[in-house]
Structure 1
């Protein structure tokens, strides 16, 4: 993969702050004319440096203001079980992030819920219906100290 130069990194920082920035404003912010700026953005999209653009939604406005971090251990670790569990987990709309781990737990899952009642409903009606769960441990998030959707280039 090609290395990013300082101008590419400036472009990425600006887009990270505002993905809806027009090419004209972006070019101005990084000190390029519009065509070279557009060409650089397009090249980074094609190389996969820029994976996509998205809107950030308010959990509060959507009625899911609370975050719970759930650690899950499966009863088996064969490829079939991991595959089925991963697919089923990805289908749950409350799941914001899910990671397959090393260590004591198999998965770390970040879930958006509406308080303890919403969390209990998620557990009983969704998570515990997934195949292969042996054990889980949950922690409610009190406050978010940092939230980033990508690394700073």
Structure 2
């Protein structure tokens, strides 16, 4: 939070309602948070300007579009240099099967979440893409058995 940015309970209600349904009409949003339309719109604009709201998106069915198999992949690079990180990150950003990528502390340099339709598709991704990225030294894959919790936004 930036200095001077403060969220009151109405701001938090607005964020909660929009996180649940970003297609909510402005009138319905105003009604749910207990304000008239104009003050609600002003608050939403302020929340956008202060970057609490980064954008609006549809929640897509990942299983139907990308596949039902989530694979968590730890990747260790041969060298931990800025150039090596940039090369890996650039290559991985171009891969549609990679849903998220995190630079990590600890044993692995990166943790990825890869979504594919089946084991054969993951094998192709692993051998034809991930293992061919220059500088990759070690890859460790773990397959998710079940999604227990998947949040799109923090609980407010």
Do Structure 1 and Structure 2 share a fold, with TM-score over 0.5?
A: yes
- In structure 2, the residue matched to 1:56 is 59
> What's the C-alpha RMSD, in Å, of the aligned pairs?
1.0
Q: Does 1:100 align with 2:103?
A: yes
Q: Aligned residues, how many?
A: 153
Out of 11, 30, 39, the position equivalent to 1:27 is 30
Q: What does residue 150 of structure 2 align with?
A: 147
Deviation, 1:55, is: 1.3
Q: Which residue of 1 aligns with 2:126?
A: 123
**Residue in 2 that maps onto 1:87:** 90
* Separation in 2, partners of 1:104, 1:5: 41
- CA distance in 1: counterparts of 2:67 and 2:39, whole angstroms: 42
Moved >4 Å (runs of 4+): none
1:59 Cα offset (Å): 2.1
1:44-82 deviations in whole A, cap 9, x for unaligned?
111111011111111222251110000000001110110
Q: What's the secondary structure of 2:99's corresponding residue?
A: strand
In the superposition, the TM-score normalised over structure 2's length comes to 0.95
1:100 and 1:59 mapped to 2: Cα distance?
23
